[in-house]
Amino acid sequence: MIAQMIIKQEQLKDNIMLYGYVDNNSHFIEIYDLTIVDELWKARVSMPHESRWALMSRKHLLRDGRTAYHNYKFIAKVILDYHVDSLFLGDMWNNSCQLTALIFHQKGFKICFYEEGCGHYIKPYGYGREGNLVDRFFAFFIDLLYYRPLYGVSFGYIHYWKGLTFEDLPMDARYSVVPFYHESFDKIISVAPLISDKLNVYIEKEVRDVNSNDDILLLTSPYYINGVDDDPQPYIETIIDYVKSLSPKKIIHIKFHPRETIDVRNILKKEFENNKIGYKVIGEQVNIPVEYYLQRLAYNKVVMFITSTAYYNGYLFPKTEFVSLLEDYYNRCKAIGSINAQYIAPLLNEASWQ
C-alpha cells in the first residue's frame, strides 16, 4: 500500500518489486498478488531465502554466509538487469534493509526508507544496547573476515554488538504517513487510496453485509510469539474479558494479524461462541491490510493492542475511537511472571502516543 502511494506521489517510472517472505509466512504472496496495482510496476521479482539475507547465526556461519552472499549477488543482478538507480527499503530497524542500504549507498545508489508499520515509529526492544565482550570480539572478526572483504562495509558491529543509529544509516529520503520525523530528508506521503480491480472485487464481497456503524473492529496482535514464552493464555483472556464487557448486541468484526497462529484463532472463535458473542472474521480468505477495509467502513470503535493502524487514524482513513488492550495484557503477564512483560513494557509509552 505505502510503496504504491510513493510511486504515485513521486510519479516514479520503471519500478521493480523485489519481494518474498520470511519463516512460515508464504500467505503474504497471496496478499501481494491481490493488492498490487499492475500498471505501477514494470516487473516483480521473487527473492529466494529472503530471511537469510543478513542473518549470520553463530551456529551456522558457513551456511548462512554462503546464503547471504548468494542473495547479495541476486540483488546486484536484479539492479543491473533492470538499470535500477534508487532503492526503496521498508524497515529502518531491519538488519537486511540496513545492510542493503550500507552496501549500495557506497556504490552510488540513492537510498530511501518508507514505513512498513508501527515499527517505523518505534525503536525495537533492546535495540542499541551494547553486547558483552564476547559479542564485541565476534563482531570484530566477522567484519574482518566476512563483511569487509565481500561487501566493503562493516556490519558485524551493527548486527552483533551495538546496532545502528540514524547518523550512521545512509538515507536520502524517509517517507512517512504520520508527521513524526522532521529531518531535512523526511517526506510526508500523500494519501491516495490505490485499489486493484482484483482487490476491489474481494473487498466488496467481504463488506457487502457489514453494518460497521454499530459494530466494533478487533485487531489482534500476537505479542505472545517471541520464541521464549509463547503461552497465549493471558493474551486470550485479555481479549475475551474485554469483549464480554461490551453490549451483547454488538457484533465484533475480527481482523486477525497475518502472523496470528491457527490454534489461537480457533480458540478465540470458540470462546466467542461459548460466550454467545456475535462475531464475523474479515480477511479470512486473504489477510489483506486492514486499512483497505477502513477506507470503506466507518467503525465507531477499534479495539487493538498496539498497531500501525492506530498511527494512521485520521490519515489513511477517517478518525475514529481506538481502545488499546496493551496495558491490561501487560499487567496479566507481569502478574504471572511472564517474560512477555519485558517485551511489552517499552511499548506502553508508545501506545499512549497514539
Contact 141, 73 (CB under 8 A): no
Cell of residue 22, nine digits: 520470511
Q: Which three cell numbers stand for residue 186?
A: 523526511
Q: Is 249 contained in some domain?
A: yes
pLDDT number for residue 351: 55
Which pLDDT tens digit goes with each residue over 1-53? 889 999 999 999 999 999 887 777 777 888 888 899 999 999 999 987 665 67
Q: Are residues 266 and 183 in the same domain?
A: no
51 domain residue, yes or no: yes
In tens, the pLDDT along 288-324 reads: 888 888 888 888 899 999 888 888 888 888 888 999 9
Instruction: Compute and round to an integer the Cα radius of gyration of the chain.
Output: 21
Rama region for 51: left / alpha / beta (φ>0; ψ in -120 to 50; rest): alpha
d(CA 175, CA 7): 11
Domain count, the chain: 2
User: Which residues contact residue 198 at a Cβ distance below 8 angstroms, ignoring those fewer than 6 apart?
Assistant: 33, 34
> Of the residues 162, 188, 214, which one is the last residue of a structural domain?
188
Coil, helix or strand at residue 19: strand
Q: Kindly state whether residues 228 and 114 are assigned to the same domain.
A: no
**In a domain? residue 254:** yes
Of the chain, the percentage scoring pLDDT greater than 70 comes to 92
**Does 197 map to a domain?**
no
Most confidently predicted of 115-119, 123-127, 173-177: 173-177
Whether the per-residue pLDDT at 157 is higher than 80: the answer is yes
Q: Residue 148 is part of which domain span?
A: 2-188
pLDDT digits (tens, 9 = 90+) for 90-102: 888 888 889 999 9
Identify the band that residue 343 occupies on the pLDDT scale cut at 50, 70 and 90: confident
Q: Which of 131, 165, 188 is the last residue of a domain?
A: 188
Buried b (16+ CB within 10 A) or exposed e, 292-307: bbbbbbebeebbbbbb
CA nearest 221: which of 268, 187, 177?
268
Neighbours of 257 (CB within 10 A): 19
CB 292 within 8 A of CB 280: no
Q: What is the mean pLDDT of the chain?
A: 86
pTM value? 0.84
Domain with 284 in it: what CATH number?
3.40.50
Residue % of the chain over a pLDDT of 90? 42
Among candidate residues 188, 215, 233, the one where a domain is terminated: 188
Pairing of strands 252-255, 216-219: parallel
Cell of 212: 460497521
pLDDT for residue 300: 82
In this prediction, residue 43 carries a pLDDT of 96
Region 191-201: what's the mean pLDDT? Answer: 85
Residue 295 falls inside a structural domain: yes
Q: What confidence tier does 107 reach under pLDDT thresholds 50, 70, 90?
A: very high
For residue 213, what pLDDT band results from cuts at 50, 70 and 90? Answer: low
Task: Identify the CA nearest to 65 among candidates 129, 130, 155.
Answer: 155
Regarding whether 231 and 168 lie in a shared domain, the answer is no
Q: What is the pLDDT of residue 124?
A: 63
